[in-house]
Amino acid sequence: MNPPHARPASAPSAFGGLFMHCLPCIVVGLCLEPSVSGQSRAAAAPPSEAADQRGPVRFQDELLPLFAANCLACHNSKTSEGGLSLETVATIVAGGDSGPGVVPGMPAASTLLVRAAHRDPDADTMPPQGNSVGARRLAPKELELLERWIAEGA
């Protein structure tokens, strides 16, 4: 039984009670929001921004293993098919019989990428089909890595 001086709960006080009950959840949600939205912005970032977040491509750790598996059997300092060695950045940039292998900052002008990605129907593609060393065509992700490295300035 309610004392005679007590008033029944009104809508505003009921709302106030609900607000006070939910206040901790609201505060926690507001504190977490920047980190959650930061993650969603990164996940929804355009490919160029996502590439920037991965850091620069490391030749020794990322590209040289690809070249060792698929290119160095024919393009090394001893057996440089077409005069091209892919063992160091300097020899790649220097290129071979067809000119520079890579033009730093210019993927579309880089013979290495154009031939590896089979982008020019008039140029020899690398590796050649049916090659005797078992080299395989680079996968799209590997070609993207090579293109990114060149765009970054090789």
Contact present, 93 and 113 (Cβ < 8 Å): no
Considering the domain architecture, whether residues 98 and 75 belong to the same structural domain is answered as: yes
How high is the pLDDT of residue 53?
64
What are the pLDDT digits (tens) for 120-151?
Answer: 999 999 999 999 999 999 999 999 999 999 99
Contact present, 40 and 49 (Cβ < 8 Å): no
Considering the domain architecture, whether residues 70 and 125 belong to the same structural domain is answered as: yes
Q: Give per-residue burial for 53-88: e unless 16+ CB within 10 Å, then b.
A: eeeebeeeeebbebbeebbbbbbbeeebbbebbbbe
How high is the pLDDT of residue 54?
81
pTM to 2 decimals? 0.65
Examine residue 32 and state whether it is found in any structural domain, yes or no: yes
What are the pLDDT digits (tens) for 51-87?
Answer: 456 899 999 999 999 999 999 999 999 999 999 999 9
Q: How does residue 8 score in pLDDT terms, banded at 50, 70 and 90? A: low
How high is the pLDDT of residue 145?
98
Considering the domain architecture, whether residues 40 and 96 belong to the same structural domain is answered as: no
What are the pLDDT digits (tens) for 19-52?
Answer: 455 545 454 444 444 444 444 444 444 444 444 5
Question: What residues form DSSP beta bridges with 99?
Answer: 96
Considering the domain architecture, whether residues 101 and 128 belong to the same structural domain is answered as: yes
How high is the pLDDT of residue 42?
42
Examine residue 100 and state whether it is found in any structural domain, yes or no: yes
Examine residue 6 and state whether it is found in any structural domain, yes or no: no
Number of domains the chain is built from: 2
Examine residue 104 and state whether it is found in any structural domain, yes or no: yes
Considering the domain architecture, whether residues 145 and 73 belong to the same structural domain is answered as: yes
Examine residue 2 and state whether it is found in any structural domain, yes or no: no
Helix H or strand E segment including 50: helix 47-54
- Domain assignment of residue 18, given as a range: 11-44
Considering the domain architecture, whether residues 88 and 34 belong to the same structural domain is answered as: no
Considering the domain architecture, whether residues 31 and 63 belong to the same structural domain is answered as: no
